[in-house]
Structure formats: C-alpha cells, structure tokens
Structure 1
C-alpha cells in the first residue's frame, strides 16, 4: 500500500494526484499529510490509523478541513495551497476518480455548513433587535 516512512509534503502534487490510483491509495496519504496541520488532539491521535483505513480517512477529512480552515497561525498559506491543489488535481476534467471529487465536495459542504452556523449564531434575534431599538 503506502510506505509510512515516506514523508509526503502537501506542496508535492503527487499526494493530490488521482491518476492511476485507487481511492484508498489516494486518500490515505493525503489525509495523513493534512492531519499534521490540525490542532485538534483527537484528530491527531487518529493519524496512524488513517494510513491503513481509507474509510476512516474519508470520515475524518471534513473535520480536518474545518479544523485547518480555522487555523490562522500557520507558517505557510495552507488555505491557498489546498485551493490550488484542488483546482489543479481534483476539479479537473481529467480526474477519473469520481469519489475524490465527491469527498472534496462533501468537505466543502461541511465548511459551508459551519460558516452558516457561525454566522447565524451572531445574528441577533428579532426580540434582541427590538430591545435595542427601544433603547435608542
């Protein structure tokens, strides 16, 4: 399968490429490489199992995307790097590994849901707005 002693950088396009790979061969090293940037201890504890279980990697990838998206303290512009790699290797017509597209779309949907939830939690209720208006 995949040699865990081989360190794969996210900057290397080989970790993102799907051509000639099965879903498991593609997702395991990618998620393993991404999880390094998470600051969630639970996610980090799952790192070793991700190398051998594509189902676990697929299940955790949306949470990893959410965790990484919230990080602002990284030395590299990881958000830009991920967007560039997705554009070049996943969302291209030549990508025949349809499940890779579905998994990434699921991650983006999870990011959207979290963003909407965060925004809606800051929106004051009608009652709160009425109280403020009465004070003015």
Structure 2
C-alpha cells in the first residue's frame, strides 16, 4: 500500500505535469478513457491506476521513472527527450520550414489555453471559432515552369 507521502507526491506530479503540458482534465480524460472527475481525483489524491501511467508518459513527455518518483535525474532526462523529439521533427527540413515550426510552437506556448489539434491540421479550442493552420502552398511543377 502506498503511504500518504507517496500519494501526495504523485498528486503534486499530476498537477505539475498537466499544467506544464497545458492539458485540461477533460483532454486527459478523453485520452485515458476516464471521466474528467477521475482526472481531478488524481490531482487531489494521487491515487491513479498503473494502466494510466503509459498514457500520461505519452501526453506529458515525462518519463515513467519521473511518475514513479525519481525526480532530479529525470528532469534532465525529460529535457533531453524533448530536445531529441524536436531534433527528429526538424531534421532534414529547410531553414524556412524550421523557422515556421518555431513560430508555431511560440504561438502555441503563448496561447492562453491548450488547443486540440484535429486531423487535417486544424486547431480549435472551446471558446473561439476553429482556426486552421495551413502549410505553405505547394506549386505544381507545370505551373512553376510556365511562370
């Protein structure tokens, strides 16, 4: 059985990770297949089923060991993991594409609320009309040759 300190620490970790990832209880609930009330319970009590941890790892980018309690070492590991993911994402792209990716990340980080990315590249939140992030237009070879 977990001690009160263990569950209180896990509750703190849940609150911290979800806040830093800018995830709402509703978004986490949908991803984990539970109710928003269950997620709020995790935040308050730290009582969470082991089967939910892999999804929290995926949603927050925090390693499993961080969720299980080894904090200091894993902070650097989490940072390294994010840097590796970003490196894979931008690898092989043009400087202009990398700049657009950085601009999009900054926009998302400055947003007052977490956004849900839908299939097709659209982004929407609960309070504003749907906003679509369009990739730059691609020119057809024939069009480019005629110009």
TM exceeds 0.5? no
TM-score when normalising by structure 2: 0.28
TM-score when normalising by structure 1: 0.30
For CA contacts below 8 A with separation 6 or more, give which structure has more relative contact order: 1
Rg bigger for which structure? 2
